[in-house]
Chains A and B, each alone.
Chain A
């Protein structure tokens, strides 16, 4: 079955960077888009960006441009999200999610990774 398994919780200081991984299995990795969505404590979902695993192209919403880098390793079917210049407002649960191409159907999600930014 389709699984997206994310790395464990992280605690970072302001100004540092964090890299979260998402290991995909149970499907053809390059056939689906992969997105990152975050959720601050007690808040709603916030979209961050996408990678197209086949060619490796990426897209980031304006809010995160310059701070967000999404990459993938097709040999290990793993997705990565790196966020730099962390501030307290970046404290959130970060989710990877798979999209059936060009449908907006985020049909499978990782379990989430809590990133805490605190001095």
Chain B
């Protein structure tokens, strides 16, 4: 099963909003709402940022939000801050015991 498709990089200025798309297929994102997003700073473990498409875990800023349409999920970060600069990965259930990650998107805060 191939990785979900994400842009390699996105950028935005402080205070702006950005959206990171994550495209899959009808066998993963298109079928299941078990879609999560992870933030990873260099040299650190990933951190759960959005769960089950739209849920924000306790402690995650409300500037982070998630959505899904068809075979594409999206992560939106509003009011960009310097600390948001990191790699972001989407993840979807794909049936059986299979989970698929996206290739990752490097967010640069200009």
Contact = CB atoms under 8 A, between A and B. Distances in A.
Contacts of B46: 37, 45, 95, 97, 106, 109
B52 A44 contact: no
B64 interface: no
A19 B47 CA distance: 24
B97 A59 contact: yes
Contacts of A104: 34-36, 51-52, 91-93, 99
Interface residues of B, number: 26
Contacts of A110: 45
A35 interface: yes
A46 B104 CA distance: 11
Interface in B37-86: 38, 45-48, 51-52, 57
13 contacts: A59-B96, A61-B98, A97-B46, A103-B34, A104-B51, A104-B93, A105-B48, A105-B57, A106-B36, A106-B46, A106-B48, A109-B47, A110-B45
Interface of A: 35, 37, 44-47, 49-50, 59-61, 95, 97, 103-107, 109-112
